Structure 1
Amino acid sequence: MASFSKILRPTDIYKRLSVPTKYLKSLPSFEGGHAVDFQAVDDKGHVWTFKCSVRKKGRYPKPVLAKGWLPFVASKNLKAGDKVKFYREKNKSAAKRVYKVQVAKEVRIFGVIFGYAPIF
Structure 2
Amino acid sequence: MAAHSKLVFSKFLSESDIKKRLAVPSAIQRSLPPFNGGPALIFQFLHGTRFWPILYSIRTKGYNKPVFSGRLWRNFVIYNNLNVGDRFTLYQVQVEDGSSYYRVEVGREIDFLGINAMAYGSGSTADEHVITHHHQEELSLELSLGQPNVEGADN
Q: In the alignment, which of 32, 40, 43 is matched to residue 45 of structure 2?
A: 40
Contact kept, 8 Å, 1:5 with 1:83, in 2: the verdict is: yes
Paired positions, count: 114
Larger radius of gyration: 2
Verify: 1:9 aligned to 2:14, yes or no: yes
The TM-score normalised by the length of structure 1 is 0.84
Paired residue for 1:90? Answer: 94
Task: Return the letter of the residue paired with 2:29.
Answer: L
Verify: 1:19 aligned to 2:24, yes or no: yes
Paired residue for 1:101? Answer: 104
The TM-score normalised by the length of structure 2 is 0.67
Task: Give the Cα–Cα distance (whole angstroms) in 2 for the partners of residues 55 and 20 of structure 1.
Answer: 14
Paired residue for 1:64? Answer: 67
Shift of 1:71: 1.1
**Helix, strand or coil: the match of 2:102?**
strand
Shift of 1:16: 1.0
Which stretches in structure 2 are left out of the alignment for 5+ residues? Answer: 1-5, 123-155
Shift of 1:53: 0.4
Paired residue for 1:29? Answer: 34
Shift of 1:108: 5.6
Q: 1:80/1:108 Cα in 2 relative to 1: closer, same or farther (>3 Å)?
A: farther
Task: Return the letter of the residue paired with 2:69.
Answer: A
**Helix, strand or coil: the match of 1:12?**
helix
